[in-house]
Amino acid sequence: MDLRPMESGDWEEMHVLYADPGVWEHQPTGVFTTVDQTKALVEFFVSGWRDDALSNWAAFDDGGAFVGHGGARLLHDRAAWNIGYRIHREHWHQGYGSTLARRGVEAAHETDPDVPVTAKLLERNEASRRTAEAAGLQLVWRGRDLGNADETAVRLVYADRELDETTLRAHTHSFMR
Gap between the Cα atoms of 142 and 153, Å rounded: 11
Position with higher pLDDT, 161 vs 153: 161
Q: Where are the domains of the chain?
A: 2-171
Average pLDDT value for residue range 5-28: 94
Gap between the Cα atoms of 97 and 10, Å rounded: 18
Gap between the Cα atoms of 152 and 144, Å rounded: 7
Gap between the Cα atoms of 166 and 75, Å rounded: 12
- Starting at the edge strand that comes first in sequence, how are the strands of the sheet with 2-5 ordered? 2-5, 56-60, 66-75, 80-87, 117-122, 154-159, 138-144
Which uninterrupted H or E stretch holds 11?
Answer: helix 11-18
Nearest to 103 by CA among 55, 141, 66, 64: 55
Q: What is the pLDDT of residues 42-90, one digit of tens each?
A: 999 999 999 999 999 999 999 999 999 999 999 878 899 999 999 999 9
Question: Above 70 in pLDDT, residue 177?
Answer: no
**What CATH number belongs to 2-171?**
3.40.630.30
For position 176, what pLDDT does the model report? Answer: 43
Strands 66-75 and 117-122: unpaired
Q: With b meaning 16 or more CB within 10 Å and e meaning fewer, what string describes 96-115?
A: bbbbbbbbbbebbbeebeeb
Backbone φ and ψ for 164, nearest 5 degrees, come out as -70, 165
Q: What is the pLDDT of residues 22-44, one digit of tens each?
A: 999 888 888 999 999 999 999 99
Gap between the Cα atoms of 48 and 6, Å rounded: 9
pTM of the model: 0.92
Question: Above 90 in pLDDT, residue 7?
Answer: yes
